[in-house]
Amino acid sequence: MGELKQQENQLEQLRRYTKIVADTGDFEAIKAYNTTGATTNPSLIYKAAQKAEYQHLIERAIADSKCSALSGQALINGVIDKLLVLFGLEILNIVPCRVSTEVDARLSFDVTGTLNKAREIIGLYEQHGISRDRVLIKIASTWEGIRAAEMLEKEGIHCNLTLLFSMTQAIACADAKVQLISPFVGRIYDWYKKQTGKEYVGADDPGVQSVTGIYNYYKKFNYKTEVMGASFRNKGQITELAGCDLLTISPGLLDELQASYDPVPAKLTMENAINSDAERMTLDEKTFRYLFNEDAMATEKTAEGIRRFAVDIVKLEALIADKM
């Protein structure tokens, strides 16, 4: 039994049911775990951009923008777009599938602004010979973000709807036929733990329950939108979602999964989804806004997430301006 126990660690077992994506902008970490893809956000890029080994990417983004007719804030924004894509290109040299690149969080309530920024980012990737099917544009799961994603999908620009905390947001995304959603397990857990003072474990975790409900709804009603659990606080949240389409996991938790040989059975399955008590819903804008407003956790965490990402974009702008 001792030999059998050592044959597959938890990460290897998890790969049987679920595609594993690295939640980091650190290239060496992505290489180390042999993941199928990677997700980035302004916070991760800002953190990586401060490291010495990535300064050449900042210098290249600045150099590539020197001939631009832009000036001031528009020039800085252009440099940041190039920097995000340069990080994405490096990641695509490592992973076999897709990278997620995020639209400026300050455009979360601006349909036209989101559309324009997404097209600019995809255009930069295409200039480097990267096809649209290898890039996911990350957009916040606001009503406006979902509408922008719906239009982008019709153009063949695939989207990852992030900062998603509720079934209301998930249903709207599925109806818009977006490629993928990223429900935030850990931030849901954080909210309920703060509100109740209770420690949630295993299937009792509200974040785990949220993703399980969304997965069951999508599979029961044959939606094609992929579910990628995100924002984990502990290893148990990950193993409780074994069977989810994808999971994006930070390097620290990938380490923990590799170090453990405990069994990881499938928890999310098509059979469980079909037999679930999910009921189909139709959401127009009024219904979406009302139900979302009624969900204090989702409302607060979405707003907080947008604010935090916006702060890190401002920090990244300051870093770029200083170097220019």
Strand pairing report for 19-23 and 37-39: parallel
CA pair distance 245, 18, nearest whole angstrom: 5
What pairs with residue 138 in β-bridges?
102, 160
193 an active-site residue? no
CA pair distance 15, 30, nearest whole angstrom: 16
Strand pairing report for 37-39 and 99-102: parallel
DSSP 93-125: TT-SS-EEEEPPGGGTT-HHHHHHHHHHHHHHH
Question: Which listed residue (19, 82, 117, 138) is catalytic?
Answer: 138
The DSSP letter of residue 133 is G
Residues 6+ apart with CB under 8 A from 52: none
**Amino acid letter, 7:** Q
**Amino acid letter, 138:** K
Q: 3-state DSSP: the chain helix, strand, coil percent, rounded to 5?
A: 60, 10, 30
Active site residues: 138
